[in-house]
């Protein structure tokens, strides 16, 4: 492809998308992408809307200078510019993975409704990604490397330069006399990707000039195989999952190990999980799915976890520990609950919610998330341990300390959305009552 045809190449990649946000590092690749989009807007697409977002990871002494360079270039080109700063925690997965995760979280948070994210990875980047996956022992999903079109937090995400080589981008940049940033960390061969780029791939390109294109074809073939498997297993996966997206263990047990593993991977992908290693997947099955009946097994995968309840697997986000929380509440105004658990309110007339007596003069209302001992639930002839009640109500262990409990003084009165105790009833039938309502998503 000649340098002059790059805008035409982008036109074909964009389709009908006209509201674009470029992840703009200021390096060669993103500078070429942004410039070519401006050329396309000037020549073919006057309705093209462009923004650039620059993410400062704070990992280089030159980072602020790079931000200033990007801002000045966008000002010169009259492109809306948004600088972002992120914190990188290398404790999980190394600094490269942590920086990438922080970068895309920041980008996802700033995308506008209807906006498409564009990133500037090219053919040689694809080759590096394929080789890194090969080094990790990845299967077809990992070897699929990067997709030209995917999703990020519900937004379209395009990599329109993925079929073009770095030399092609350099030729365009030189022809248009572009200036770009050279990240000093790209010369540090201690990082795996840089080691491949600096030490290994030049030898392979010298021996086999089309090596990058060949690996890209292999990645495409792996992606096709994964797409076919997705299609073939979609019906089976739908039959094994419920409205909460939990997965049936019994439905998996009669399957061959390869089919079971393929379904587990697709279930995790649907949950938004980063693909586990083969060893982690085996641990999920052996230590969580097949653990003894009275166990409460858990497998941690990054910040998330997989747990089992009633022969089903659940994918769970991080949760605050709320067992010790005690929240004073007048009951007059709605109460916002911690950790995204919604809100509570009392109303004096309603057809919905739990009806209970209002507190007496010597009683104060608190909201808690843990109770112990025996409870006399209305409708039962005797008291029962609250643990038994949770079991009867099919409440998973991780949700039992996340259900708002209404106390009058030290007495449990109600479990929001579930039951009231005998102590919630009027002693003489004359006490004023109100209705407890809990507005929440499933947590």
Known binder of ligand: residue 154?
no
Known binder of ligand: residue 248?
no
Known binder of ligand: residue 50?
no
Beta bridge partners of 365: 408
Strand pairing report for 411-415 and 405-408: antiparallel
Query: Residue 323 and residue 400: Cα distance in Å, rounded?
Result: 9
What per-residue string of b and e applies to 284-317 under the rule 16 or more CB within 10 Å gives b? bbeebbeeeeeeebbbebeebbbbbbeebbbbee
Beta bridge partners of 390: none
* 236 closest CA partner among 200, 209, 264: 264
How many Cα neighbours within 13 Å face the side chain of 93? 15
- SS3 state of residue 394: coil
* 165 closest CA partner among 38, 39, 29: 29
CA distances for 290 relative to 310, 311, 381, 413, angstroms? 12, 9, 37, 38
DSSP H/E element including 356: strand 354-357
Concatenated DSSP letters of 212-229: HHHHHHHHHHHHHHHHHH
Could you tell me which residues come within 8 angstroms of residue 411 by beta carbon, excluding any fewer than 6 positions away? 421, 423
- SS3 state of residue 241: strand
Known binder of ligand: residue 94?
no
Axis-axis angle for helices 211-240, 123-135 (nearest 10):
60
Known binder of ligand: residue 350?
no
Known binder of ligand: residue 26?
yes
**Residue positions in the annotated binding site?**
25-30
**Residue positions in the annotated binding site for ATP?**
25-30
């Amino acid at each position: 492809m000649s340098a002059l045809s790059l805008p035409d190449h982008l036109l074909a990649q964009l389709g009908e998308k006209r509201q674009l946000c470029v992840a703009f590092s200021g390096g060669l690749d993103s500078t070429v992408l942004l410039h070519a989009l401006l050329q396309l807007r000037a020549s073919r697409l006057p309705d093209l809307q462009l923004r650039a977002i620059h993410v400062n990871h704070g990992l280089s002494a030159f980072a602020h200078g790079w931000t200033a360079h990007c801002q000045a270039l966008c000002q010169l080109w009259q492109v809306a510019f948004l600088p972002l700063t992120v914190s990188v925690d290398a404790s999980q997965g190394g600094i490269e993975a942590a920086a990438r995760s922080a970068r895309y979280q920041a980008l996802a948070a700033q995308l506008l409704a209807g906006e498409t994210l564009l990133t500037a990875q090219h053919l040689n980047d694809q080759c590096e990604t394929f080789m890194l996956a090969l080094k990790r022992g990845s299967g077809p999903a990992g070897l699929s490397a990067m997709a030209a079109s995917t999703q990020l937090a519900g937004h379209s995400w395009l990599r329109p330069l993925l079929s073009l080589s770095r030399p092609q981008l350099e030729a365009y940049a030189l022809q248009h006399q572009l200036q770009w940033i050279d990240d000093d960390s790209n010369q540090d061969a201690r990082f795996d990707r840089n080691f491949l780029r600096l030490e290994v791939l030049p030898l392979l390109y010298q021996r086999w000039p089309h090596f990058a294109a060949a690996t890209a074809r292999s990645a495409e073939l792996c992606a096709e195989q994964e797409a076919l498997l997705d299609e073939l297993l979609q019906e089976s996966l739908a039959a094994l999952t419920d409205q909460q997206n939990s997965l049936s263990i019994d439905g998996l047990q009669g399957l061959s190990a390869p089919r079971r593993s393929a379904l587990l991977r697709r279930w995790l992908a649907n949950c938004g999980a980063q693909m586990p290693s083969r060893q982690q997947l085996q641990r999920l099955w052996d230590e969580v799915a097949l653990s003894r009946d009275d166990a409460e097994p858990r497998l941690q995968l990054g910040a998330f976890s997989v747990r089992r309840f009633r022969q089903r697997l659940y994918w769970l986000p991080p949760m605050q520990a709320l067992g010790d929380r005690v929240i004073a509440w007048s009951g007059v105004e709605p109460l916002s609950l911690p950790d995204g658990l919604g809100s509570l309110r009392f109303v004096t007339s309603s057809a919905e919610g739990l009806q209970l007596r209002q507190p007496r003069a010597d009683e104060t209302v608190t909201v808690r998330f843990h109770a112990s001992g025996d409870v006399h639930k209305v409708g039962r002839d005797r008291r029962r341990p609250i643990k038994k009640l949770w079991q009867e109500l099919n409440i998973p262990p991780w949700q039992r300390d996340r259900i708002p409990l209404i106390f009058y003084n030290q007495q449990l009165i109600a479990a929001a959305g579930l039951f009231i105790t005998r102590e919630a009833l009027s002693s003489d039938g004359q006490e004023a009552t109100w209705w407890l309502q809990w507005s929440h998503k499933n947590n």
